[in-house]
Chain A
């Protein structure tokens, strides 16, 4: 479907923040789902990009990093242009009743967690990990929904020095947590998962894989789940951490 780009901001080097108008997308979009976007330029396939926020039942916001030809072309779109979008696709995070929640993200994986945090509000302890202070983004937006927000940088230039997962371990020692939502680089999610599975905390992770059709037909974006292969686009991208075979 064609959607109008209504707002465009550059958040950091190579990081773009787009808001598109579509009531049908906004009415159906859930936290953790993604859009499959035709970027134009020399890229052939669509690009899966996670939904960052649903606004006023009318707009969908997504943030992406320019990585290759497709995202370079997408970044060149201007306000008023139409963008060809399929979606919302995939299964989002589920929100059964729980009281104490950790939302943990790393790098550009934090974007889908904004809508999660919006939904959880003050129940959420938000942990955001970045390489360095200059990579820290969106912290103030997460802070609108919860006052328990912690940042870690690998070089210590902002917040806790070290991995965000170390910070999570510390928090788990003093806080009772019944659910974790996570999105970020695979090594980070693997570390989150190993702590969570040890402590038997219900944990949902959002996986990423190179994708084709985006709707489950081509079976290219598979991950290893419980001894079988599942499609990230259709069966995920959100999976229960206890089912993911990280080293398979």
Chain B
């Protein structure tokens, strides 16, 4: 049996697979399909200091091998999460990552303070393309990336992951800014800003007009960015963007990801997360690799 354990920013996971924030709710729903202890970590839906209503429907549109979503960070707030979901999540043998969102630096700081050390890791969501204020605005400028990372790191009581946006000219520049701000790890990529128009009604499918593209369609972009960032910073990476199975996950790890997140694929196959863990293990067995960490960053670039 190969060793699937990884260590990311000092936190040990049983295996390298987690959930992409926003695709897995707070674990309750998919917990009816499989045992969440099968995952290295569960990353919950974005949380803000105060509840958010999100955007009006329709909030989802199907695209070639993917989807656009414009949920807009709807969530019941940190307090509600702590009171209603945390205890249940803690019954599983898995790490818990809280994804943080907000409209201002103060919002993020407040959410991080409210969470304290009740989760194992924090993920700073400065890459959501679906909100008018905050969100991606912080993650597309290196100065504001560093500023918000520094501010949240100062109050964070758990290792801080910064989640990067692909909607930038140079993702390495943003990655370095997050590293300079004190990030303990990086996750990438968030969704790509996109749009779909119904040619019969001449209106966008999404009520928000635009949304974030996810699913297999974005995988090559995500692999490229993971590879670039791996060679640009020293921080461990959590790779995501279109991962549906073990083979996809291995590709991200070879590109430089220490861990991976599965998201949209779960809407098609509710077992995609556990299938990915099994697929990684199968690849390691077939290739006689003893430790999953041995493949991280081992892609042989030309």
Contact = CB atoms under 8 A, between A and B. Distances in A.
B64 A42 contact: yes
A229 B52 CA distance: 10
Interface in B37-71: 45, 53-54, 56-67, 69, 71
A219 B25 contact: yes
B111 to A, nearest CB: 18
A216 B54 CA distance: 15
Contact of B57 (A210, A215, A218): A210
A46 B267 contact: yes
A37 B64 CA distance: 18
B297 interface: no
Interface in B3-60: 22-25, 28-30, 32-33, 45, 53-54, 56-60
Contacts of B45: 219
B243 interface: no
A212 B69 contact: yes
A45 B62 contact: yes
B29 A220 contact: no
Contacts of B267: 45-46, 212-214, 218
A45 B67 contact: yes
B58 A218 contact: no
Nearest to A232: B57
Nearest to B63: A44
Contact of A218 (B22, B61, B63): B22
Interface in A189-206: none
A219 B270 contact: no
B58 A210 contact: yes
A218 B65 contact: no
A50 interface: no
B62 A220 contact: no
B268 A220 contact: no
Contacts of B246: none
A209 B267 CA distance: 16
B256 interface: no
Contacts of B69: 212, 218, 220
B23 A86 contact: no
A192 B28 CA distance: 35
A86 B74 CA distance: 25
A46 B60 CA distance: 13
Given A45-B267, A213-B267, A229-B53, A221 B30 contact: no
Contacts of B71: 218-220
Contacts of A38: 268
B70 to A, nearest CB: 8
A228 B57 CA distance: 13
B260 interface: no
Interface string A70-102: 100000000000000010000000000000000
Interface of B, helix, strand, loop or mixed by DSSP: loop
Interface of A, helix, strand, loop or mixed by DSSP: loop
B277 interface: no
Contacts of A43: 62
Nearest to A42: B64
A215 B26 CA distance: 12
Given A44-B67, A46-B268, A217-B23, A229 B29 contact: no
Given A46-B268, A212-B267, A217 B30 contact: yes
Contacts of B64: 42, 44
Given A215-B270, A216-B29, A222 B54 contact: yes
A31 B67 CA distance: 30
A193 B157 CA distance: 50
Interface in A18-64: 38, 42-46
Nearest to A210: B58
Contacts of B30: 215, 217
A234 interface: yes
30 contacts: A42-B64, A43-B62, A44-B66, A46-B267, A210-B57, A210-B58, A210-B205, A211-B60, A212-B67, A213-B267, A215-B29, A215-B30, A217-B23, A217-B28, A217-B30, A217-B266, A218-B23, A218-B25, A218-B60, A218-B69, A218-B267, A219-B25, A219-B59, A220-B60, A220-B69, A221-B59, A221-B60, A222-B59, A229-B54, A248-B56
**Pairs of residues from A and B, 4 with the lowest C-beta to C-beta distance, nearest first:** A220-B60, A217-B25, A217-B29, A213-B267
Interface of B: 22-25, 28-30, 32-33, 45, 53-54, 56-67, 69, 71, 74, 205, 215-216, 266-268, 270
Given A213-B29, A217-B28, A221-B59, 5 more contacts: A44-B62, A44-B65, A216-B25, A220-B58, A222-B57
